[in-house]
Structure 1
Amino acid sequence: MKAEIIAVGTELLLGQIANTNAQFISKKLAEVGIDVLYHSVVGDNAARLAGLVETAQQRSDIIIFTGGLGPTKDDLTKETIARCMGKTLVENSEAMEQILAFFARRGTPMTENNRKQALVIEGSTVFPNDHGMAPGMAVESSGIRYLLFPGPPKELNPMFENYALPYLLSLSSDSQVVHSKVLRFYGIGESLLEEKLIDLIDGQSNPTIAPLANEAEVTIRITAKTDTTQKADEMISEVEKEIERRVGEFIYGYNQDSLHSVLVGKLKENGLTLSLAESCTGGLISHLITNIPGSSEVYAGGYVSYTEKAKVQALGVDPALTQKYGTVSEEVASAMAVQAKTNMSADIALSVTGVAGPGTVEGKPVGQIFIGVATATGEKVYSLKLSGTREGIQLRAAKYGMYYLLKELVNERN
């Protein structure tokens, strides 16, 4: 089945909101083997939407619409689609009851235009809206399936997973399953990773191998299609072993893992506590770690020592070091880690100091980063030269810090 997604809403064209719905739907369809070939965005204009539908009808088996199912005049998606198919709109009694109950619970009168939200295209399979008022729907015409969803992600996402995906899967006579595994890499760029795996990528058929750069790191998705999940896992495992043989040193996790979730897990596994001393990252590492449930078991605390004064007076770095070497230096990075470890009575400490931009600091260029790690066996400092925006440098510095700390934990255990 070939699918395309049409997002309706002038606010998308104006850049007021991002089209996260298309991203979510594409990801879910890819997981079940339905190819999405086109994404389109159109404003709240019936003529332009109808023209886009006419184009989509020539190239897709499934056309998915998001947005434009609300109560106001500019919500015109289902009216336009119905006209394109020569169908009428009818009131769905279950949706109407839900809308009436919503206003009754709030104790406010319902305006008449809210009845519009209960209208569906005649002959539709209706998808209940468990988190809002306007239902979704699916309808077939001339061999094409049209699926319509409300725009708010909090309504669309559960509706799509709970009702639309089972509907779409029921259309296929193919009994095969599509199964994927994601390998997560750090410390290697997308181009170098592809170069080391290019023969595998070029020769892919089943399983397929898809590299993707994402938020200062790289992933590889291995996808297999066969008749059972067990067989798919076995097929994926064979490819995974070859990838690990070539670039396994850069793999830090799998599927939904993140550097911070893996780091917290590794600290728990080793029974270690961590303290932090951050400068140019401004507390970003601390923020990421404390986002993980249970991080209080391993995170002793930290410092955002953004200025020389903070490094000396709050953290306890020897002022002779900052005067001689500067706050952005290997020596100060090492001292920051040692002081954080000592002050917090932690087993291991991580420090970051550097220049995120926009200008130089102490003659050091933008992107110069020093990362210190202090353990029971000593200290180590890593030097990095990063590029990009201020925010990008901060994020990459934070992730490099966690990546180097993970490597230290593995080395110490071995």
Structure 2
Amino acid sequence: MKAVIVSIGDEVLNGDVADTNAAWLAERLVELGVEVAYHTCVGDVEEHIEQSLRYAAKRVNLIVASGGLGPTHDDLTRHAVAAVADAPLELHEESLAAIEERFRRLGRPMPTQNRIQAMIPAGAAVLPNTEGTAPGFVVQIGGAHAAFLPGVPREMRAMFDISLAPFVLALPIERRAVRAERLQTFGLPESVVNERLGALMQRGANPLVGLRVSGGVVSVKLLASGQTGEAADHLLASVVGEARRRLGEAVFGSGADTLELAVARLLERHNATLAVAESCTGGLIGHLLTNVAGISRFLLEDLVTYSNAAKSELLGVPPELIAAAGAVSEEVARAMADGVRRRARADLGLSTTGVAGPTGGSEAKPVGLVFIGLATAEGTRVERVQLVGSRELIKDRAAKCALNLLRLHLSKAGDWGR
């Protein structure tokens, strides 16, 4: 089975809004055993939408489109579909009732213009919208099944998972079983990950292995296909195991795991408490950790000690040490980690101090230089990292480098629970 993904809307075509829908839909379709032939984007011009649909219907079995189902004058998808499928728009009473009920729950009457959202091409299969007002629908265009989903990502994703995915799986078309896994890594550049994976990255291999970089995290996507689910599972498991072996401690999780989630799991495993003192990262480590539910059991405090006075008054860093070594130094990072651990009576103390830029650097201490301290009962270590980029990027990477240092320590620690 082959599919085309169509994104509809001037805001996507003109670059005002990133087309995240197409990427998400492609990933989900591939996981369902559907080959994606191409993506296309078209603006809010009825004639252009019609042309795009006619072209796609001659080339694939499945069209999945998103956007243009709203209640405004430029939401023209339903009109274009009615013309191409030769199926006049009809009022779908159940959809109208659902839209009215949604507005009733919001405590206000339904605007008259929203009635157009319940106008569906005759004979279409309706896809209910559990997250918004616009229903989706599936029609036949030539030899292709064509599905139309809302453009709002939250609504589109829910509709796909609840209604369209089962529809696609029920189509009487031969497909190979597909299994996917994603490994999350940190601390290795994309080029090094690629080099370590070596022949596993060979184009056309099964499983297919690809890399994606976001926020300093290199994700390794592995996609296996087979005649049966069991065959695909076997192929995937063998290559995932080999990829983990080659990447070693750089792998911190799988699926949608984040670095902060990996750290939280390790803190829980060791029943260890943590205190953090941040300077150049400005509270970002605490922000990331508090995105994880239940972290309050392990994170005792996070202090932003940005000034020299705060480092001395709150952490006990001697003013003479700051004067001699500088606020951005191995010595001060060590004293900060020791100080926050002692202050909170925590098992672990983590600190950051650095030059986030764009000013403030020197030849000896350039912009992007960061010292990360980690204090434990066995002693304190400091890691020096040199980062490049904007102020915001340096802060982000420094926070993640600190979390990664903590992760690596906890991964190697014994079961020394309190």
TM-score (norm 1): 0.93
**CA deviation map 1:336-375 (0-9, x unaligned):** 1101100110001111111222123465211111111111
SS at match of 2:340: helix
C-alpha separation in 1, matches of 2:346 and 2:106:
52
C-alpha separation in 1, matches of 2:129 and 2:245:
47
**1:402 alignment partner in structure 2:** 403
Q: 2:414 corresponds to which letter in structure 1?
A: R
CA displacement at 1:413 relative to structure 2: 1.9
**CA deviation map 1:151-196 (0-9, x unaligned):** 2223222111000111111115336432112111111111111112
Q: Write out aligned runs for 1:8-407 (5 A).
A: 8-105=8-105, 108-174=108-174, 176-202=176-202, 205-226=205-226, 229-361=229-361, 364-407=365-408
How many equivalent residue pairs?
414
C-alpha separation in 1, matches of 2:173 and 2:8:
31
CA displacement at 1:43 relative to structure 2: 2.5
Question: Quick one: structure 1 residues 395 and 103, their matched pair in 2 at CA, closer, same or farther if it must change by over 3 Å?
Answer: closer
CA displacement at 1:202 relative to structure 2: 1.1
2:356/2:368 contact within 8 Å kept = yes
C-alpha separation in 2, matches of 1:106 and 1:216:
41
Question: Quick one: structure 1 residues 56 and 333, their matched pair in 2 at CA, closer, same or farther if it must change by over 3 Å?
Answer: same
Q: 1:365 corresponds to which letter in structure 2?
A: P
Q: 2:383 corresponds to which letter in structure 1?
A: Y
2:278/2:352 contact within 8 Å kept = yes
SS at match of 1:340: helix
Unpaired stretches in structure 1, ≥5 consecutive residues: none
Q: 2:76 corresponds to which letter in structure 1?
A: L
TM-score (norm 2): 0.92
C-alpha separation in 1, matches of 2:57 and 2:232:
34
**CA deviation map 1:385-407 (0-9, x unaligned):** 11122222211111111111111
2:34/2:175 contact within 8 Å kept = no
C-alpha separation in 2, matches of 1:302 and 1:110:
47
CA displacement at 1:51 relative to structure 2: 3.2
CA displacement at 1:324 relative to structure 2: 0.9
C-alpha separation in 2, matches of 1:228 and 1:301:
51
SS at match of 2:413: helix
Unpaired stretches in structure 2, ≥5 consecutive residues: none
Percent of matched pairs sharing the same residue: 39
C-alpha separation in 1, matches of 2:237 and 2:109:
59
Cα-Cα RMSD: 2.1
C-alpha separation in 2, matches of 1:79 and 1:94:
20
CA displacement at 1:58 relative to structure 2: 4.3
C-alpha separation in 2, matches of 1:13 and 1:226:
36
**CA deviation map 1:86-119 (0-9, x unaligned):** 2211221210221233344556444433221111
Question: Quick one: structure 1 residues 86 and 250, their matched pair in 2 at CA, closer, same or farther if it must change by over 3 Å?
Answer: same
SS at match of 1:413: coil
